[in-house]
Amino acid sequence: MIRSRRELHIASSLLLTLQSMPENRYRLPLFPLPIVLLPGAVMPLHVFEQRYREMVADVLKTNRNFGLIFHDWDEQGPFLGEEGRVGCLAEIQQHEELEDGRFILIVKGVGRFAIDEGLEQKSLYFEAIVTDYKDASAMRDEEMEFRRGESIQLLDALLDLLPNRPDHLHELSVHSELSYSLAQAIQMEFPWHQRLLEIQDEGSRLERIDQVLRTMIRRGGT
């Protein structure tokens, strides 16, 4: 009975803590994977591990959101939910539960977060208290429009080098976060995409992408 009261006290304290949090700070299930999801990107996921099946079942009952965070076990060792790590908020847009309990998901990146505090595992999967991860600075509208125009011109020059030229320029030119749209089309390693996710300035993200586009143009489109 004492144990039950203690558990009730802990649960009540946690509930009060969560209720007192500002809106941009919240509890989030985490799915560490050796891939990077960017805001605006749509990605299929095959969920087969038992603890993440449980996570998906839980989030489908709530707001359908979880945190996808880049983690390579071979390079980084066990995932520890370290403070300050940045991930992408994933929203489940479609799901199919298979007969054996696995899930096939279509998720979309809808924002960024940073881990404030890793939580003791009371379930099979990881959870943390996180904060919305926003850009720290912004260019004036006219400066950003000029900066975006430079990136689109570079993309246009690169597309002209390709034998079958796709045309996504109109779609990209009106995208509020052009850097993420461009990054989805660039075949770079996941650590590169993770660094882009961590940059808190659209102009700096575009400059990082422009460097890649210029290199590809010099190489004739490869």
Q: Residue 217: which of 154, 141, 124, 133 has the closest Cα?
A: 154
Least-confidence region, from 15-24, 121-130, 154-163, 190-199: 15-24
Stronger pLDDT, 138 or 116, i.e. the higher one: 116
Residue type, 90: A
pLDDT value at residue 34: 96
Tens of pLDDT, residue by residue over 80-108, are 888 999 999 999 999 999 999 999 999 99
Assign a CATH topology to domain 23-132: 2.30.130
- pLDDT bin (cut points 50, 70, 90) of residue 180 is very high
Mean pLDDT calculated for residue range 150-171? 78
Look at strands 86-97 and 65-70 and give their pairing.
Answer: antiparallel
Contact criterion met (CB below 8 Å) for 190 and 177: no
Mean pLDDT calculated for residue range 22-44? 93
Q: What are phi and psi of 105, to 5 degrees?
A: -120, 150
In the numeric block, which tokens belong to residue 32?
């560490």
Report domain extents, the chain. Answer: 23-132, 141-218
In the numeric block, which tokens belong to residue 190?
């996941």
Distance of CA 83 to the CA centre of its chain: 16
Between vectors from CA 214 to CA 210 and to CA 215, what angle results, nearest 5°?
A: 120
DSSP secondary structure of 137-158? ----HHHHHHHHHHHHHHHHHH
What is the share, in percent, of the chain residues with pLDDT greater than 70?
84
